């Protein structure tokens, strides 16, 4: 029996979840949780013009903002941190967003259940950097995930990676550019130093917990 992949995230819960958010975990989450087996995303929202995926949505601010901007897009979100899931549910409930479906667990399981070429866009924003060298094997961005993301993205689809840890930026750029399936779109330094026009800055990003200014890497599926 194959071993499950190493965890690419740390703790899954910290403080006690607030009562209102806990109630949403019991009521709203079961309604919008993605299936636990292979599925066709557009069956969840047949009228969707596109399907996007956010891997590790944190507190859900970015995901909710993108969903509000594009109500015609189905956004799949995956996050193992239960407090983050609870926070995201609050955003969805307050804004009455109906075009988001969630995986409260490892994003790699969700990606593995998606069909070939089923996505138009992927976001990986400020994932756990695992800065110590002995922990690099736990980083989310690995060659096998890059290959899986290439499988589920349609040709011409886009992927955005962002981090404020310089070594993780270099690590991820090396792995994506090593794949024949992805093309880095940057032509000049401002292309990765300046937040993209459609980026949504979150409270986590504003804390600047890394060792460099945020870097944004945009790729196109060849």
Q: What is the CATH number of the domain that holds 102?
A: 3.40.50.150
Q: Which domain holds residue 195?
A: 39-221
CA distance 215 to 212: 8
Asked if the structure places residue 153 within a domain, the reply is yes
pTM equals: 0.93
Instruction: Please state, for a pLDDT cut of 70, what percent of the chain lies above it.
Output: 94
The total domain count for the chain is 1
Cβ atoms within 10 A of the Cβ of 7, count?
Answer: 12
The contacts of residue 14 (CB under 8 Å, 6+ apart) are 81, 83
Asked if the structure places residue 24 within a domain, the reply is no
Q: What is the structure's pLDDT at 4?
A: 53
Cβ atoms within 10 A of the Cβ of 196, count?
Answer: 12
Pairing outcome for strands 73-78 and 50-55: parallel
Asked if the structure places residue 20 within a domain, the reply is no
Give catalytic residues, as residue numbers.
128
Asked if the structure places residue 61 within a domain, the reply is yes
Asked if the structure places residue 23 within a domain, the reply is no
58-101 pLDDT, tens digit each: 999 999 999 999 999 999 999 999 999 999 999 999 999 999 99
Confidence of residue 5 (pLDDT cuts 50, 70, 90): low
The contacts of residue 126 (CB under 8 Å, 6+ apart) are 56, 58, 162, 163, 164, 204, 205, 214
What strand order describes the sheet that includes 153-163? 100-103, 73-78, 50-55, 119-125, 153-163, 215-221, 182-184
Asked if the structure places residue 177 within a domain, the reply is yes
195-216 pLDDT, tens digit each: 999 999 998 899 889 999 999 9
């Amino acid at each position: 029996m194959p071993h499950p992949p190493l965890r690419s995230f740390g703790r899954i819960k910290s403080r006690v979840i607030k009562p209102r958010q806990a109630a949403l975990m019991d009521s709203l989450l079961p309604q919008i949780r993605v299936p636990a087996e292979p599925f066709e995303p557009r069956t969840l929202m047949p009228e969707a013009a596109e399907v996007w995926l956010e891997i590790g949505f944190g507190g859900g601010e970015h995901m909710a903002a993108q969903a509000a901007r594009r109500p015609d897009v189905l956004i799949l979100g995956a996050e193992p941190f239960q407090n983050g899931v609870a926070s995201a549910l609050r955003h969805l409930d307050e804004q009455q967003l109906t075009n988001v479906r969630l995986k409260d667990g490892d994003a790699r399981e969700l990606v593995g259940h998606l069909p070939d070429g089923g996505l138009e866009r992927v976001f990986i924003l400020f994932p756990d950097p695992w800065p110590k060298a002995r922990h690099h094997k736990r980083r989310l961005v690995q060659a096998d995930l890059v290959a899986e993301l290439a499988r589920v993205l349609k040709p011409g689809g886009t992927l955005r990676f962002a981090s404020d840890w310089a070594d993780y930026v270099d690590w991820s750029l090396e792995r994506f550019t090593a794949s024949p399936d992805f093309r880095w779109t940057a032509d000049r330094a401002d292309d990765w130093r300046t937040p993209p026009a459609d980026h949504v800055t979150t409270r986590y990003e504003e804390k600047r917990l890394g060792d460099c200014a945020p870097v944004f890497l945009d790729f196109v599926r060849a």
